[in-house]
Structure 1
Amino acid sequence: MTFSVASQQDPAFEPWLERQLSHSASAMLASISPVSLVKHRPGFGQTIRPLVGAVVASPVLGNYDPDPDYFFHWFRDSAVVIDALRLLYVERRIGDEALQHLRDFTRFSLALNGLDGRAVAAVQGRRARVAPELLQYLREDHDLARIHGDAVVAETRVNPDGTLDILRWARPQHDGPPLRALSLLRWVAGGHLDAALLAEVTPLIRFDIDFTLRHWREPSYDIWEEESGHHYYTLRVAGAALAEGAAWLEGLGDTTQAQRCREESQAVLRLLDDYWVDERDEQDDRDATRGYYRSRVLADDRPSPKALDIAVILSAIHSLGTEATHGPADPRMQATLERLDALFDAAYPINHGRAAGRGAAMGRYAGDVYCSGGAYYFSTLGAAEFCFRAAAMGGDARQWLERGDAYLATVRAYTPDSGDLSEQFDQRSGAQTSAKQLAWSHAAFISCASARRIAGAACQAPRGR
């Protein structure tokens, strides 16, 4: 389908998009149930053999040499991947094997709920198997001993063999359960599941909704696993999961729980209204969108240099629903994207003097120092998807389509002919850095391409008077 200036200016754009989509589909699937891979962590006395249903963040083994070790099942990343798997299935790029992947993922996820860190902490000689220079990275017994019940799914990540992560890490993190619930609810809403699979998925959805009800008000670590506090992204996906969960529960006849979810979802949205940072001139208050949604509120409301964060934009596409506020059609959310675009346009050398038709390569927040410090594929693709979602929701659709294609053109410029996508492409050279073949990067491309098709169809559909 050709509908944008990218296609009109460069006839190779659409063929590239199709090729990359096919490659990203294959590359992402390599992270699901990677049972042929074995990960050795000799310094920690570990050999990890993934189980069916696990989703690794990257199937390319790294050991901070320099690529990081991403051979873990992240609750957040796996939910994003399973949602992208649904898109591949709906668009008939993958057959019924997608349903088997979903079944395996569900069983793996439910089994994790039975993990108990007290048993791990009680193992005699646990620390003796770890190389002395690595003991600083090993979790303390008391930290492991508290991991049981709800605390398991707040672990951020587990090993893909279904065991607890024994390394020090940022915990707890509360975005995984609501993201997983949203992903599964979309599978259900699409009518893709037979009665048997629906019966397996239902307990996991209920668990994730109940977890979100119990814990959304509590502080946790942000999407980047760096700061503890109350985070826009985590709250937004929690609110969306509760809203979608309420509709689902209503359909099951569980009206009491549905009403509770609905009330709590509304409470989340009211709280998020306070995350707006108003930067209007006191002498001129005509423009109501001069500001941005801050990404976090830390303890004692301390300021954070990460207040302006792409996580806010990602929340708008990961929690996409019917709400007018806190989504791509929200003028304040659009203003937040403007501020982020300006930030990275100025900060990243690869954005200076870029070719016509290319958008800014996007990162996470100002001053990022992780690996190359950005740019990130999922950030730039997230900005593109945001634009396509905004186009589908009305307004100046052509402008949003063009802008989304401009971000995609930048992704294309820094994607090798192989179609491989790492986590980052260097802000100075554009070379790929950090974890190779990041499942989230490929999932973001799949989701972005789907949003582009939806936007194109919506813009071409005849409109009533």
Structure 2
Amino acid sequence: MSESEISEQDLHGKLQPTVPLLKHQHEDEDELVGGGGGGSDEKAQATRMRHADLKESSNDPHGHRPHRGHAGHLSPIPTNPALPSPDFITKTKSTPHRSLIINRQTLPFNWQTLLGGGLMLFALLTALICVALSRPDRLGLVKAYVQDAGLDSWIQSERTIARQRIGRNIGPILGAGEGLIVASPSWGQYQDEPDYYYTWTRDAALTISTLLADFLPAPYLTPWNFAPQKYNMSEGDVRLEPLLREYVNGQSSLQVVQNPSGNLFSGGLSEPKFHVDGTAFTGAWGRPQRRDGPALRALALIPYAHYLLDRAWPTDITFVLKHLWDPHRLREQGSVIKNDLEEVGGSWSKSGFDLWEELNGYHLFTLLVSYRALQAGGILARRLNDTGAADYYISQSKTLATYLPDFLTPEYWTANLPSDHIFTNKSTTGTPAKSPEKRSPEVKSRGYFPLRRDRTGLDCAFLLSLIHAGGDILPVSAPESLETVWKYVKSFDGIYQINQGPWTNGWAVGRYAEDVYNGVGIGQGNPWFICTFSTAQVLYSAQSDFHSQGSIQVSNTTVDVWADILGVPSATLNHTAIWKAGSSDGMFDRATKALIAVGDAYMDVGKKYAVGGRMKEEIDRHDGHEVGARDLTWSYASFLSAARARDLARSIITNPTKR
């Protein structure tokens, strides 16, 4: 394959230094149309916006458009005049074939014709070879690609690639606004790619939270348990701080954009996505989406606010008060964190769409990240002497916590409850548990999906809940959590052709087994990189939790889980055993090492299917080629998050004193 350099200038110096990368599908088109690698070309940007407008106007009568998990009627794809013509390779001055040009005036006519035909054939073959190398999935070449490096080496190199690809999805690259994080450079210009050329509040916040770990010490990363720290200037990658400032400024502007969900004071903060230039997306979508966007954004920025307060430079204090939190007002532009917390505190009890933007109801992920945001917000509010806000957020978080047990069924944690669910909490404070909204007809009448079988509630969203908001209220090592993860993974048994052997060998897993979104439209659901890496991360985190506890309690709930992980019949395990660290039977060490081994098997799935280190949204269930939105920012962020959890788990094995 040909190689291209991604320069540090392309990344604005925000992430990692230069390394060579393999050429990937459509990358040249990004440069031409999106202004990648530099600023925004106005003419190309206008072409892109006209294309987006054309797509919106050519949708089905209900206005529904294909998007993440919402596969409606596919729009015709117009010809893009900004893209290179088929003979581009023979016309460009940089073509390597210029040395073959001969003065044909000196040749007889028949030789001239023959030479001309030969050159055309040569150019055609060259073009086909270039397509084959840049689009291996189109020509069935994925299986021929071999990742030679071992898992450790691959993870190390993939960290650099992931950070670089994230950097290339942050404005002003790709024509996006400064500091706005683009979900994917795919904007629907090809029939096998969806239009993800937007900035999602959710995706952007999760990406920033992932990158924070490269900048801030560990105590800042769980702001719901935070205590003021002694500032250490030597810690962290300071190159990320300009990115954080740009992100804050970009979100501050988005918060005041009037949109279909409302404005700063009337629900607009829960609008899921915007155009990359910061204007409102007004097309049909899964609305209302409540709280998870603003909650995740607050959780991404509260750690930075604490860091600035600990560093305590005068300009840091000013930045917090002018851009993150105004103790004297409820909502106003320039108070990004407090605006979000006011939105979460006032609407958390209302139903809305899930993080996949498909089901209207109550969702464990949404409520759990809202709970953590309110907890963390209360701590920061007290630190800023905003006592009224602190009391309100803490009170709301305590009420919200009483709603969470309803998601625990007799068999597992379910990810979703219907919008007419009446919660069983006995709280007399806070907002009433029952939503006034009627139960959503869900997929049957919204026009996104045809009728499909019911959802079990086993969902990757539960794993994401553990990763981004678990801890004491939902420990990953709890028997019910382990059982839910186990049942979630096993729900894909026999569904995806690319998976072989038992689940402990490492399977590619998707959002949920009943999924019918194939990355572009209606079809058969596929595995996602996000969910596969999240499975690995949950297993690594369970290992770390067990080491912190110093023991593992086996129960009837988890005996089958442990039997699979250890590769033994469940009948050979004591259903009430307690495996203690350092015990002579060695079961504790055997079990925790097995958790890492199984987690590595899931990381290896990513290694197998991420061609050249590049990640789309999904992995084809039949042959493993990548499908859907390319260079998905969230895919790269999920990899980085899982790799970091692996580092911690492995460090505990080699240095038990870290327990």
How many Å separate the matches in 2 of 1:197 and 1:81?
Answer: 22
**How far is the alpha carbon of 1:390 from its aligned partner?**
1.4
Secondary structure at the counterpart of residue 268 of structure 1: helix
The corresponding residue for 2:462 is 312
How many Å separate the matches in 2 of 1:29 and 1:151?
Answer: 30
How many Å separate the matches in 1 of 2:595 and 2:380?
Answer: 32
- CA separation of 1:63/1:230 partners in 2, compared to 1, >3 Å: closer, same or farther? farther
**How far is the alpha carbon of 1:403 from its aligned partner?**
2.1
**How far is the alpha carbon of 1:461 from its aligned partner?**
3.5
Matched, 1:387 2:543: no
Q: 2:408 aligns with which of 276, 284, 289?
A: 276
Partner deviation per Cα, 1:328-359 (whole Å, 9 max, x = no partner): 122211111010111113322211347x9731
Q: 1:182 aligns with which of 284, 299, 307?
A: 299
The corresponding residue for 1:211 is 343
How many Å separate the matches in 1 of 2:626 and 2:235?
Answer: 27
8 Å CA contact 1:292, 1:332 repeated in 2:
yes
- CA separation of 1:145/1:332 partners in 2, compared to 1, >3 Å: closer, same or farther? closer
**How far is the alpha carbon of 1:161 from its aligned partner?**
0.8
Q: 2:417 aligns with which of 297, 316, 320?
A: 297
8 Å CA contact 1:112, 1:152 repeated in 2:
no
Partner deviation per Cα, 1:12-55 (whole Å, 9 max, x = no partner): 2211110111100101111111x2434xxxxxxxxxxx210111
The corresponding residue for 1:347 is 495
8 Å CA contact 2:615, 2:636 repeated in 1:
yes
How many Å separate the matches in 1 of 2:186 and 2:215?
Answer: 25
The corresponding residue for 2:150 is 12
- CA separation of 1:316/1:357 partners in 2, compared to 1, >3 Å: closer, same or farther? closer
Matched, 1:77 2:211: no
Q: What amino acid sits opposite 1:367 in the alignment?
A: E
- CA separation of 1:145/1:391 partners in 2, compared to 1, >3 Å: closer, same or farther? closer
The corresponding residue for 1:364 is 511
Q: 1:334 aligns with which of 482, 490, 508?
A: 482
How many Å separate the matches in 1 of 2:381 and 2:264?
Answer: 27
Query: Structure 2 matches for 1:390-405, cutoff 5 A?
Result: 390-394=542-546, 395=552, 396-405=591-600
Query: RMSD in angstroms over aligned alpha carbons?
Result: 2.6
Q: What amino acid sits opposite 1:183 in the alignment?
A: A
Secondary structure at the counterpart of residue 158 of structure 1: strand
Q: What amino acid sits opposite 2:629 in the alignment?
A: A
8 Å CA contact 2:286, 2:353 repeated in 1:
yes
Secondary structure at the counterpart of residue 417 of structure 2: strand
Q: 2:177 aligns with which of 51, 56, 59?
A: 51
Q: What amino acid sits opposite 1:65 in the alignment?
A: Q
**How far is the alpha carbon of 1:111 from its aligned partner?**
1.2
8 Å CA contact 1:154, 1:171 repeated in 2:
no
Secondary structure at the counterpart of residue 494 of structure 2: helix
The corresponding residue for 2:529 is 377
**How far is the alpha carbon of 1:145 from its aligned partner?**
8.5
How many Å separate the matches in 2 of 1:147 and 1:217?
Answer: 19
Q: 2:317 aligns with which of 176, 188, 195?
A: 195
- CA separation of 1:221/1:214 partners in 2, compared to 1, >3 Å: closer, same or farther? same
Unaligned 5+ segments in structure 2 are 1-147, 218-233, 326-334, 422-438, 440-452, 519-523, 547-551, 553-590
Q: What amino acid sits opposite 1:165 in the alignment?
A: F
- CA separation of 1:464/1:389 partners in 2, compared to 1, >3 Å: closer, same or farther? closer
Unaligned 5+ segments in structure 1 are 1-9, 39-49, 118-143, 279-290
How many Å separate the matches in 2 of 1:393 and 1:197?
Answer: 36
8 Å CA contact 1:32, 1:101 repeated in 2:
no
The corresponding residue for 1:407 is 602
How many Å separate the matches in 1 of 2:593 and 2:632?
Answer: 31
Q: What amino acid sits opposite 1:399 in the alignment?
A: A
8 Å CA contact 1:358, 1:410 repeated in 2:
no
Q: RCO (CA 8 Å, sep 6+): is it higher in 1 or 2?
A: 1
The corresponding residue for 2:265 is 149
96-105 or 61-70: bigger deviation: 61-70
Q: What amino acid sits opposite 2:600 in the alignment?
A: D
Q: What amino acid sits opposite 1:69 in the alignment?
A: D
The corresponding residue for 1:437 is 631
- CA separation of 1:266/1:409 partners in 2, compared to 1, >3 Å: closer, same or farther? same
Question: Percent of counterpart pairs with the same letter?
Answer: 29
